[in-house]
Structure 1
Amino acid sequence: MAARKDRPLPVLGEDRSARWLLPAIIIAVAGSAAIIWWMVGSTVLAAGFGATVLALCALVLLIRTLYPQAAEQGVDGPDWTVARATADAAGLAMAITDRAGRLVCASDLFGEWFPAYPTPPGLFADPAATDALTRAGRAAWRDGSARLEGLAHGAMRLDVEVGRTGRADDYLLWRLTPVRHPNAVDDILRLVTGEAGRHLTEGGIMAALVGGEGRIRAANGAFLLRAAGRIDANITGRDFAGHMRVDDKGRLFFAREERGGLPLRLLQVPLRRQGQQAPGADAPMLILIVDEPAAAANGTSALATIETLLSLLPFGLAMADRDGRMLFLNDAFARAAGLRPEARPSYPGDLVVREDQAAVADAVRRFAVGPQMSGDIAVRMRDQPDDPVALSLAGVRGLGEAAVLLSLKDNSEESKLKRQVAQATKMQAIGQLAGGVAHDFNNILTAIIGHCDLMLMRHTPGDSDYDDIQQIKSNSNRAAGLTRQLLAFSRQQTLRPQILQLPDIVADVSNLLKRLLGENVKLEVSHGRNLGAVRADPGQLEQVIVNLVVNARDAMPHGGTVNIQTYAVPAAKVREMRQQILPVGDYTALRVSDTGLGIPPDILSKIFEPFFTTKELGKGTGLGLSTVYGIVKQSGGFIFAESELGRGASFILYLPVHTAEAAPEKRKAAPKRSETWGTGTILLVEDEDMVRAVAERALSRQGYTVLTAADGEQGLEVLARGEDIDLLISDVVMPTMDGPTMVAHARQARPDLPVLFMSGYAEEQLRRSIDIPHVAFLPKPFSVSQLAEAARDALAGAASDAPPAP
């Protein structure tokens, strides 16, 4: 806004108010002086009063004459600063003139259109336009407002509105606005993006405004949702053709919907530009899109509609013609058949093994030409030959070329669960068998080791028989290690769990692993943060890591890398994994991976089975991974295997994070004693004669009085005789009456009777199944010295628990 301040100073005679104000002041002063003279009677005083008042009035008039604008603004002059800010904010081209025809202010836009701020009506070079503006100004002074339309100013045409303004209507406001010609593109743009576009969306009509270059300028919500997947997507400026695709039948689809979309029908409306007689090749275009109606008259369209519907269903469905050629199959069918996305079979028989191809072709032919019926046929898929599946067929009519509808259920998850259940059942059955074998074998080893110890007591190093006896004992101990391995994969071995951190176990065994791997295999170890503590047997975990690393080394005959990684798996991550076997909870994971040959899919489900091995004869027992499986499961964890041929394999262990519990009050431990001699009476109950004989001789040699019984009933009979028994040593599993049942009856009469159980089964497993407090445990096989130490400790513990004598 520019304010004009070059007004000429008006003279006093020209001021209309001065014409009547001066005579009125003179008359008032004369009257006042006459009144003073009459009242006072002094001519000098009256004349002085009149002269003083006249001088003051003259001074006021002089100031008003010299500073007219300051006087006016101080009273009621307009604030041109406010007017300027308002006009610029509104983007108006405007000017204000006073009654003398002078420009007092103008907006910035007015100055851009008319440089040097000319005074209306002298705005245009055309004399006719100037005359028209002059007449409009006069009409505005007379009538209050006037308007002119379509005055040419360069490339623009302007409408001019003139109106009186100001408090006394002593100013003219000249407002100029450009003439806007109707534009079809702008109207369509507002239609697509405005309220009308929303109504089109609700009606299922997709609308898009496309420029002559083929790029999208605007689109309504329905188009955005189908073309981009989101109603708030921004696709302005993108190629319209890039969002479309055409199939081999010439039908139009949205590109992102691929095979699951519906065919479309387009209506193109070219928009004629101003001045064009006909739409140009580069003219913008309104495109309206609707889904192709399903009620087409011919069979081809009906078949296309059926294909579209079948592609949306989550069931594996396909269609074949009378000759058995595949016409269509949806994504669910391809997944169930194990097909890659780009692979499409020509015939249903291409999906199954060679032995089932003839049966499938015959079934398709029978359902295609016969009456409409349905049925199932059991087939074996080419990619999954071990798991027969049901292929359902149904004859269809009235769909053009389609004659047979095929259905195949995606049972990959079901088959996986079946294999897992079968694996668990198999492991449980073999574990029970191995546990029984190991129990009986431990009895035999106990007798052999015990007799060796007794014989070694009668021989000294250097005797001819001493080395042979020592060799027999050494081999027996090796056999005992084999029984522990059997018990490991059957989850019945004796564990000594501790609260530990997995990185510590990996660090302890790293040096051993480097020696086992050799020079051509590299070992990489990485640990995650915030790992939770786990409760497990550190020795058994070391065996797990060693077995996995050795298997990884054997899978890389030409060298490679073994990676051991530990990381935390919170419950939220487990929930995202959607693993049916792994319960939701916090875990610490251990991953052992290699870069070897990988494990074939048909072998991956069998690797944890006992005695299953892919190594050459004599190079593997098949107990390595089954032992790992048993140790992990017995520790409360889970193990999974992942592999891809040519890219190596990974074994992931999930051990639950241990939550700290209140530690029970510890009893004061009895002082350890190096001697094993003792006194007292011990009742030994054992059903195996050889074990009972060895234990009796061993305890007798230590100074104890030993009473024996062959089963639980005989043990109760001995107790019923009133013998003073200091310690009861019993086997757990015995015929007729087992050890826990016998101890339960014995504790009713003698609640403080010390008990020492002997068994080849796991201590933790027995403690969970035996609800008897204050019992000790001795695992089989044991030596003579181990039996003597266990008896001594049991008696000492019973003595420390006894109440003090009064």
Structure 2
Amino acid sequence: MSTRPTMTIPTPPPARPSAPVTRSEGPGAAPDLEELERFRLAALNMMEDAAEARRRLEQANQDLARAVADNSRLVAAIEQGWDAVVITDTDANIEYVNSTFERVTGYSRKELIGKNPRILQSGKQDPGFYREMWDHLANGLPFFGRMVNKRKDGQLFIEDAAISPVKDAEGRIVNYVGVKRDITERLRMEEQLAHSQKMETVGRLAGGVAHDFNNMLGVILGNAELLKENLHVESPLHEEVDAIIGAARRSSDITRQLLAFARRQLVQPKILDLNEAVEGCLKLLGRLIGENVDLVWLPAAEPCRVKIDPVQIDQILTNLCVNARDAIHDVGTITIETSRTTCSRTVCSLHEGCVPGEYVVLSVSDTGEGMSSEVIAHAFEPFFSTKPVGEGTGLGLATVHGIVTQNGGFVVAESPPGSGAVFRVHLPAQERPENEPGQTAPVKEPVGGGQTVMIVEDEALLLKLGATMLRSLGYRVIAAEGPEAAIERMKAEPGKIDLLLTDVVMSGMNGRELAARIRADQPDIRVLYMSGYTADFIASRGVLEKDLHFISKPFNRHDLAVHIQRCLNSEASPGHADS
């Protein structure tokens, strides 16, 4: 702190009483004026020096205030920033950590000061990683790297780190500063996105393959059934024809699994009690898993209502129980259990498309050999299998995943070491039962009464087969190979067309667009769509739109007869297909 400058005032000469001081030009007056002038000038200089000193002091105070403010902002930025910051001395003893470092690692500042950062090491980096890091720092160079470290609670996390030496004015290293960012969640989300994109790509491929495959299966299955009907009762070819039909149906089951995985399986969901649905499957599941495996059923005490197609419950249970059975090499137990749980926003953030709320949980556990973490990571991928070649399609768990995702849920696989495996299917809970009249197929095959049916199919073999089936059922048939031909035939054929049986996916115009064109001339026509897989303009996420009639390929004559009769007997909805 500077002191106030002092001012020395010269002592004026004593006044002479006998001669009062007056302005005079005598020799005695000149020295007095000069002294006073020097005094005045000295006083002015000192006043200017004092003013300059005050200005310098004020500037210094302002600079100090700015420096304190800048330092406060810097400290606040470091403390409140998203990145973790740690400062050590040259022996790597921690001198400072910010609050983010505390939050990420789980250690308090008090626990960290004076400690070496090696307390965070997870063992996932080899010694060479740290040698390279210290080689850079010792030579005054920054180090950039990705580390897998361990929190205080033992949980691993991944961080990107930038560590730099801090030098004094003479260029000597006096500290090291590390700036780190926890990227664990980001990597998890990137992995989830990549997995979702991969599944979507494979799903589109699987859906396309299933569509084409179903068309060919329809030709094989339909013609084989027609051939069987025309065989003599004692013909030796019955066995061969039955083998063809059986193989075609088994192939159709595989395509259904592909469609379920691809989320293009046609579904008609309804609210049901999962406890009752599982009860209805137990007998079949018991036969499926064999006598060496015990099946234990533990239903929840309260109702477990979910909205799902009942057929999909069968598919989920069948695939999970077969998977569990194959994991048990001798004798063991499979346990099916239902329960209810609440899923938080944090839990749902781990599963795409899920929303927080109440869920019903269907658990299938086994006492088999269990799964490694590597197997669990790939368990739901299509065509992934740990079974020997020829003993599995690798579609079972992928099918379960596709079905559950299609219904707004998620599935989790766990396998504690030496304790078998458990799969937990989570489906959104429904609070109220749904009263929907069920439609059951008649036992006898319904036949037509001469009504006119136009069949539109751009696959010539399927068109011929479909027309043959329709004629054998008693319908008048107009066959058109594609949508343009259908419009021309409609113009050329006089009279009313009672029903349009059209493929969904065709070149030039899809089935729904064709139905709209034909309804413009014949508003009362009924429409029955057919396809090897569903399309978005027929079903959203595979869920059939209300009042739309659909039959999945491949189908036999009985299925076709039932769907046609149901469509003809339904109430007309002329504008529905145009919407």
Identity among equivalent pairs (%): 33
Query: Could you list the per-position Cα deviations for residues 705-763 of structure 1 after superposition, in whole angstroms to 9, with x for gaps in the alignment?
Result: 32222222221222233532222111000001111001112212221111111112249
Note if contact 2:275-2:300 (Cα within 8 Å) is conserved in structure 1: no
Query: Could you list the per-position Cα deviations for residues 511-550 of structure 1 after superposition, in whole angstroms to 9, with x for gaps in the alignment?
Result: 4445555676554433333334112233321331232233
Aligned counterpart, 1:753: 525
Aligned counterpart, 1:585: 357
RMSD of equivalent CA atoms = 4.3
How big is the shift at 1:350?
Answer: 7.7
Aligned counterpart, 1:639: 411
Alpha-carbon distance change, 420 to 689 in structure 1, aligned in 2, over 3 angstroms: same
Amino acid at match of 2:337: Q
Note if contact 2:467-2:479 (Cα within 8 Å) is conserved in structure 1: yes
Query: Could you list the per-position Cα deviations for residues 476-498 of structure 1 after superposition, in whole angstroms to 9, with x for gaps in the alignment?
Result: 11111111111111111233434
Note if contact 1:682-1:726 (Cα within 8 Å) is conserved in structure 2: yes
Amino acid at match of 1:702: L
Alpha-carbon distance change, 745 to 375 in structure 1, aligned in 2, over 3 angstroms: farther
How big is the shift at 1:703?
Answer: 3.5
Note if contact 1:566-1:591 (Cα within 8 Å) is conserved in structure 2: yes
Of the three residues 299, 320, 341, the one matched with 1:527 is 299
How big is the shift at 1:335?
Answer: 7.5
Of the three residues 355, 370, 380, the one matched with 2:140 is 370
- For the residue of structure 2 that corresponds to 1:692, the secondary structure is helix
User: Is 1:779 the counterpart of 2:552 in the alignment?
Assistant: yes
User: Is 1:688 the counterpart of 2:456 in the alignment?
Assistant: no
Note if contact 1:317-1:333 (Cα within 8 Å) is conserved in structure 2: no
Alpha-carbon distance change, 643 to 417 in structure 1, aligned in 2, over 3 angstroms: farther
Distance in 2, Cα, partners of 1:522 & 1:328: 60
User: Is 1:396 the counterpart of 2:169 in the alignment?
Assistant: no
Alpha-carbon distance change, 616 to 382 in structure 1, aligned in 2, over 3 angstroms: farther
Aligned counterpart, 1:361: 131
- For the residue of structure 1 that corresponds to 2:501, the secondary structure is strand
Query: Could you list the per-position Cα deviations for residues 39-84 of structure 1 after superposition, in whole angstroms to 9, with x for gaps in the alignment?
Result: xxxxxxxxxxxxxxxxxxxxxxxxxxxxxxxxxxxxxxxxxxxxxx
Alpha-carbon distance change, 781 to 662 in structure 1, aligned in 2, over 3 angstroms: closer
Aligned counterpart, 1:410: 182
Amino acid at match of 1:690: L
Aligned counterpart, 2:394: 622
Tell me the TM-score normalised to structure 1 length.
0.52
Alpha-carbon distance change, 409 to 648 in structure 1, aligned in 2, over 3 angstroms: farther
Distance in 2, Cα, partners of 1:322 & 1:704: 93
User: Is 1:720 the counterpart of 2:501 in the alignment?
Assistant: no
Listed as ranges, the matches of 1:479-628 within 5 Å are 479-514=251-286, 522-557=294-329, 561-570=333-342, 574=344, 577=347, 579-581=349-351, 582-628=354-400
Listed as ranges, the matches of 1:165-184 within 5 Å are none
Distance in 1, Cα, partners of 2:241 & 2:287: 33
Note if contact 1:569-1:588 (Cα within 8 Å) is conserved in structure 2: yes
Distance in 1, Cα, partners of 2:228 & 2:453: 24
Distance in 2, Cα, partners of 1:668 & 1:525: 29
Listed as ranges, the matches of 1:111-122 within 5 Å are none
Aligned counterpart, 2:449: 678
How big is the shift at 1:596?
Answer: 4.6
Determine which structure has greater relative contact order: mean sequence separation of CA pairs < 8 Å that are 6+ residues apart, divided by chain length. Answer: 2
Distance in 2, Cα, partners of 1:391 & 1:497: 50
How big is the shift at 1:673?
Answer: 6.9
- For the residue of structure 2 that corresponds to 1:422, the secondary structure is helix
Alpha-carbon distance change, 322 to 689 in structure 1, aligned in 2, over 3 angstroms: farther
Distance in 2, Cα, partners of 1:390 & 1:364: 17
Unaligned runs of 5+ in 1: 1-308, 802-806
Note if contact 2:93-2:116 (Cα within 8 Å) is conserved in structure 1: no
User: Is 1:649 the counterpart of 2:421 in the alignment?
Assistant: yes
Note if contact 1:494-1:763 (Cα within 8 Å) is conserved in structure 2: no
Distance in 2, Cα, partners of 1:532 & 1:631: 18
Note if contact 1:497-1:536 (Cα within 8 Å) is conserved in structure 2: yes
Alpha-carbon distance change, 499 to 798 in structure 1, aligned in 2, over 3 angstroms: closer
Distance in 1, Cα, partners of 2:532 & 2:217: 11
- For the residue of structure 1 that corresponds to 2:176, the secondary structure is strand
Query: Could you list the per-position Cα deviations for residues 14-44 of structure 1 after superposition, in whole angstroms to 9, with x for gaps in the alignment?
Result: xxxxxxxxxxxxxxxxxxxxxxxxxxxxxxx
Listed as ranges, the matches of 1:60-209 within 5 Å are none
User: Is 1:443 the counterpart of 2:215 in the alignment?
Assistant: yes
Note if contact 2:383-2:393 (Cα within 8 Å) is conserved in structure 1: yes
How big is the shift at 1:452?
Answer: 1.3
Of the three residues 703, 722, 743, the one matched with 2:515 is 743
After superposing the two structures, state which structure 1 stretch, 411-420 or 447-456, moved more.
Answer: 411-420
Listed as ranges, the matches of 1:726-737 within 5 Å are 726-737=498-509
Residue-pair matches, total: 478
Note if contact 1:523-1:563 (Cα within 8 Å) is conserved in structure 2: yes
Note if contact 2:228-2:241 (Cα within 8 Å) is conserved in structure 1: yes
Note if contact 1:364-1:404 (Cα within 8 Å) is conserved in structure 2: no
Distance in 2, Cα, partners of 1:484 & 1:311: 56
How big is the shift at 1:669?
Answer: 11
Distance in 2, Cα, partners of 1:576 & 1:465: 62
Unaligned runs of 5+ in 2: 1-76, 152-156, 575-579
Tell me the TM-score normalised to structure 2 length.
0.70
Note if contact 1:726-1:753 (Cα within 8 Å) is conserved in structure 2: yes
Note if contact 1:695-1:787 (Cα within 8 Å) is conserved in structure 2: no
Query: Could you list the per-position Cα deviations for residues 185-208 of structure 1 after superposition, in whole angstroms to 9, with x for gaps in the alignment?
Result: xxxxxxxxxxxxxxxxxxxxxxxx
Alpha-carbon distance change, 668 to 528 in structure 1, aligned in 2, over 3 angstroms: closer
Distance in 2, Cα, partners of 1:318 & 1:596: 47
Larger Rg over CA atoms: 1
How big is the shift at 1:658?
Answer: 2.6
Listed as ranges, the matches of 1:217-256 within 5 Å are none
Note if contact 2:121-2:150 (Cα within 8 Å) is conserved in structure 1: no
- For the residue of structure 2 that corresponds to 1:457, the secondary structure is helix
Aligned counterpart, 1:229: none
Distance in 2, Cα, partners of 1:607 & 1:772: 32
Alpha-carbon distance change, 562 to 331 in structure 1, aligned in 2, over 3 angstroms: farther
Amino acid at match of 2:402: G
Note if contact 2:122-2:148 (Cα within 8 Å) is conserved in structure 1: no
How big is the shift at 1:472?
Answer: 1.1
Amino acid at match of 1:794: C
